Structure 1
Amino acid sequence: MEEKETLYGKNPAELTALCAESGLPRFAARQIARWLYVRHTEDPLRMTDLPTAARERLAEQFAPALHAPERVSVSADGTKKYLYRTLRGHFIESAYIPDGDRATLCVSSQAGCRMGCRFCATGRQGLQHSLTAAEILNQIVSLPERDRLTNLVFMGMGEPLDNTDNVLRALEILTSEWGFGWSPTRITVSTAGVVPQLERFLRETKVHLAVSLHNPFHEERMEIMPVERAWPIAEVASILRRHDFTHQRRVSFEYIVMEGRNDSPRHIRELTRLLNGIKCR
């Protein structure tokens, strides 16, 4: 049996095409977008400013995408981990992290991950599948603490730039005035350095970037991050050095200190050399 598409996750261009197919005027696309991303209502039968026949047709054509988490676990510091079942039956996690007057949600972009980083439990699972834009956004929409969120980070399961189309679609919906209306400065996307998609990401979004670095030496980084074999960190740094980070957008580098492995003076010197010319933190 063929799976139905979901309405949630479509942008105005796709909704406009859908309206044309359904005999609805072009402005109905904005109405649908408002129901989906401002009111967070994906049931067409509740979209009361659309004709009844169109609502019924859309309800028949599209499957629901939004759902509550399967389970939540709470840590002593208030951090909450939410477990979701994807539309394909795999499990993903997101983490809600309160910190005073700030609250950050760490979202997943894939079920599993193909990057194989040695220090990452998700990397040992292998890739099960990439999440749709709706599955990414569901982690935000279904969050009980949604209205308290100040920041969003794509640092959960998966490599965001290995699921570029769906991550960019989710970011478009999050930051557009017809969508969630979030400022891009509230969002950070982390990557191990998928070079073929990095320039597209920098060109098409205004959100912050975090690069998972962890070792500045090619051979040593390759031992803990196999992605280094295909896309060396020096190549990533070269791309970032050419990009303008002088405005509100920023780039940061993530570095897990591993005693005796990446914390020597020579690592510090090489980090300084590698990141020279990049305005970063």
Structure 2
Amino acid sequence: MATLEDRILGEKTQYYCSSSEDEEEEDARQGAIRGQNEPEPDADYSGSATHTGPKGVLEDWRRYKQLENENRKEQEKEKLLLAKKLAATCRTSRDDDREKETEEQQLLELEAELEDEFLHRYRLQRMEEMQRQLQNKPMFGRVIELRREEFLDAIDRERPQVTVIIHIYEEGVPGCDAVNGCMQCLSVEYPRVKFCAIKSSETPVSTKFTQQGLPAILVYKQGTLIGNFVKVSNHLGHDFFAGDLENFLQEHGILPRKDEEVSSIIRDSSQRDEEEDSDLELD
């Protein structure tokens, strides 16, 4: 017959056992229940071995090598790009100095080329100017025989850049024929110099001058007397050649030397340019 304790604890006293045994049985029963209800954990497929068997292992190995090769190629590309970048940016001071020297040399060559071109153009321009001046300068090429009324006009009405050489002579005076013959030759060699001849009887000179001063050579430029050579035969003798008279006139600065004729034109042109520049500054 069930006691009050049995009623409180439960009627099935035959299933009641000690606390330790009950706990073990309860744990075993709960574990069995969880084993039935909980699903089995999935297999770990996080690695590359997703296949089983020899074929699966071989396929995984090939895939692994493919990825390894791709990674290697990508790394090689990055290394190549990095090397190019370093080669472009990493420069030594020696490279900078070499490049600077090269640039300076190229600049000097360019300046020399421009200077040569400028000088070439300048020479051509000056030659053209000199040719124009020579063309504008009157040509004579002969000895002009003057009369009394032509004497002053031959001097005063001539262009300022023309040198006028006048030989005063008289027939029968020693040395006069030699001067006339020499002037005929020099007038051809110096066609831009005005050679003239006049008898002393056509000029207002005295008889004494005719006897003691002839042959005489007078030189004018811009209407001004720049040379007065009396009794030329005392310097050259009674018989001389054109070269002797030419040297005599060149020594006294009357005739330009062959290589100085162009230089005189350049000096005259430069002087004219300076005068024009000064006039512009004054304006």
Instruction: Name the one with the larger strand percent.
Output: 1
Q: Structure 2 length as normaliser, TM-score?
A: 0.19
Q: Structure 1 length as normaliser, TM-score?
A: 0.20
Instruction: Name the one with the larger helix percent.
Output: 2
